[in-house]
Structure 1
Amino acid sequence: MQSLDKKNHTAVSEFILLGFSSESQVRMVLFTFFLLLYLITLLGNGLIVSLIYLDSHLHTPMYFFLSILSLVDMSYVTTTVPQMLVNMIYPRKTISWGACLAQMFIFLVLGIAECVLYAIMAYDRYVAICFPLHYSILMNRSVCIKMVILCWSISIAGALIYTIFTMRLPYCGPYKINHFFCEVPAVLKLACADTSFNDKLDFILGFILLLVPLSLILASYVRIFASILRIRSTQGRLKSFSTCASHVTVVTMFYGPAMIMYMRPGSWYDPERDKKLALFYNVVSAFLNPIIYSLRNKDVKGAFLKVLGNKKTAR
């Protein structure tokens, strides 16, 4: 039986991504909607990266991490959305075994990086608000670079564990993934083997990669809010609350659906709900990040107006 499983596993050459509705009219509406959403996401995040690079006033730890978050978001949606758009147009919705493996790994690396980045950004705000006089020392260039290296190290290690333990299982058909990309829970449903070990592993990894960063974020913001309440100036309190509120909003949008997806028992699998959840923490959060961080941020708006002013002067 084991040899048969291995034979079937090695015979897998491609999967079929079922995606969303099979009706042509619905597919075209969804294609137009997600194409616009994707282009706006790239434009918004690309604009933030460009402004931070061009304006020396934004060369601070907070904006350094924000620029990395924007780059991660652009890469994050590019891992899944173009494949989804192609599958909405062409009737053949296949993805090769190798491409599915690569998509799963890259998606996980970027998703885990986003989790860790949110925690780093929360710590940055904690130091800025609770220890303003020591901020330049505690968050110097060397510390920021080490944090980013740690972020990517954790992301790659976590993604490797997820991917290896998912793709090592035998897949004996049918090879139809009821999702719009190769995500771990959807792919595991096709395995013709006991996946209880994977369920336990996914829960443990979810605890380490989701709950631990979330706990650090919550701990940081408890201290932040306590410090804000001690600020005598009403204007100062409002400004601090405004800065923190944007971060809390983004964190809630991302962590909620991700925890439901990766920390629930395998028996709770619901493909239609999972597709909506994946859209939320993959596409919607990446779309909203630049809006939340830029529209409520005077520094970013000032940098944008400055760039526009320089262009008009040059003309």
Structure 2
Amino acid sequence: MALSSSSPANEKPVTWTKKQEVSPFLAAAALWELWQEFGDLLGGFYTQEMNKNITGLNSTYGVVINALEEIKAEVEAAAIAALPPKASIDNRSSISQFLLLAFADRRELQLLHFWLFLGIYLAALLGNGLIITTITCDHHLHILMYFFLLNLSLLDLGSISTTLPKAMANSLWDNMDISYRGWAAQLFLFVIFMVGEFYLLTIMSYDHYVAICKPLHYRTLLGSRACVHMAAAAWGTGFLNALLHTANTFSLPLCQGNALDQFFCEIPQILKLSCSHSNLRELGVLVFSCFLDFGCFVFIVVSYVEIFRAVLRIPSEQGRHKDFSTCLPHLAVVSLFISTAIFAYLKPPSPPSISSPSLDLVLSFLYSVVRPAVNPLMYSMRNQEVKGLFWKLIMGSFQM
């Protein structure tokens, strides 16, 4: 019986028979060669199996990691949704523009609104411009009453020029966007002109009261310097209010998107977009401003009650007619301003019949656009002196 082992090619195989005497060294060498071959075979098999196992482990590890990432994303989304409004991310930096309310969706109606707005704006420019030019150019009107009327026309021009040109551009180009800085600038200028006009109307009511009820003390109570100071105080009050309101609203975090239910930027619409927990400061400022405005309103009412009592005691019908002609235009302007502003800002949020975007749009259009356009008409129709100088100025311009 002969045995052979798979040895390297350069070595001779070791063989023996029963008749041969086996050397111990040769037997040990043969066993060592067999052990090496077994070790190589076992090592190759182990390496192959380990590679298979590592590949399987890698794929299993990838599946586990993907599952963990999905679970992590779901947990983070649930945590963000469960956070209170205060912990929500402040998206002021992400909002770069606002969307204003369109007057109409159809292109034909948008163009019709553009021409309507253009006509109103030109009428406001013409009327207020004529008042400013007439009072400035005619030295007969360099008196205190017309000085206040000059400031009123400037405020009317400023307020309508802040809102209407942007609405005209939106209707013409079918683009309702306004930039974040444009929103802040429009809000700041609009509050200046509106608040300044209301305080100026309060000063004008006091001027009429002193002129009718205390005519002998008019020069003492309302000198030129005092009137300039009062007019400057009206403008300054408007500026301070605008600075305060704009700073507060500009710092509010917005949680309700960027679509405004108005054709221009005003404070109530911004508060609707803000987070409920963060608008308390601006609401406090609004309450304080309303308190001051209510004091001015009471002062105007008391002044006109005294004016009517004094006028009704005048025995001459011509004298009564003259005093009424002086006071009624101012009273009409004050009534239009206060009534539309009160309904726009102080109406209850419900029921829907008295609180809707359409009604808000109409009221805001009345006090921000229609009122500055009709104010010159109210003053010129009842004031014969201003009306005569209007026609004199117009005829003189045509003769040139």
> Please, what TM-score do these two structures have when normalized by structure 1?
0.92
Q: Is the 8 A contact 1:15 1:176 kept in 2?
A: yes
Q: 1-side partners of 2:288 and 2:101: how far apart?
A: 29
Matches within 5 A, 1:98-247: 98-194=181-277, 195-208=279-292, 210-247=293-330
2:370 paired residue number:
284
2:53 paired residue number:
none
Percent identity over the alignment is 39
Q: Is the 8 A contact 1:186 1:271 kept in 2?
A: no
Task: Please tell me the residue identity of whatever aligns with 2:363.
Answer: L
Q: 2-side partners of 1:32 and 1:294: how far apart?
A: 25
Match of 1:43 among 126, 147, 150: 126
Q: Is the 8 A contact 2:248 2:281 kept in 1?
A: no
Structure with more contact order per residue of length (Cα contacts < 8 Å, sep ≥ 6): 1
Q: Compute the displacement of 1:18 (Å).
A: 2.1
Q: 1-side partners of 2:127 and 2:372: how far apart?
A: 9
Task: Please tell me the residue identity of whatever aligns with 2:286.
Answer: D
Q: Residue 257 of structure 2: SS of its match in structure 1?
A: coil
5+ unaligned residues in a row in structure 1: which ranges? none
Q: 1-side partners of 2:220 and 2:193: how far apart?
A: 29
Q: Compute the displacement of 1:215 (Å).
A: 1.2
Q: Compute the displacement of 1:123 (Å).
A: 0.6
Q: Residue 95 of structure 1: SS of its match in structure 2?
A: strand
Q: Compute the displacement of 1:22 (Å).
A: 1.2
Q: Is the 8 A contact 2:110 2:174 kept in 1?
A: no
Q: 1-side partners of 2:395 and 2:118: how far apart?
A: 31
Q: Is the 8 A contact 1:206 1:262 kept in 2?
A: no
1:238-288 Cα shifts (integer Å, max 9, x gaps): 221222111111111001111223334566753221111111111111111
Q: 1-side partners of 2:348 and 2:280: how far apart?
A: 9
- Runs of 4+ aligned residues of structure 1 deviating over 4 Å after TM superposition are 1-4, 264-269, 308-312
1:166-185 Cα shifts (integer Å, max 9, x gaps): 22111145211121111111
Q: 2-side partners of 1:115 and 1:95: how far apart?
A: 27
Match of 1:90 among 159, 167, 173: 173
Larger Rg: 2
Matched, 1:55 2:145: no
Task: Please tell me the residue identity of whatever aligns with 1:259.
Answer: I
Matched, 1:273 2:359: yes
2:37 paired residue number:
none
Q: 2-side partners of 1:98 and 1:305: how far apart?
A: 42
> Please, what TM-score do these two structures have when normalized by structure 2?
0.74
Q: 2-side partners of 1:26 and 1:248: how far apart?
A: 35
Pair 275,16 (structure 1): closer, same or farther in 2 beyond 3 Å? same
Task: Please tell me the residue identity of whatever aligns with 1:202.
Answer: L
2:116 paired residue number:
33
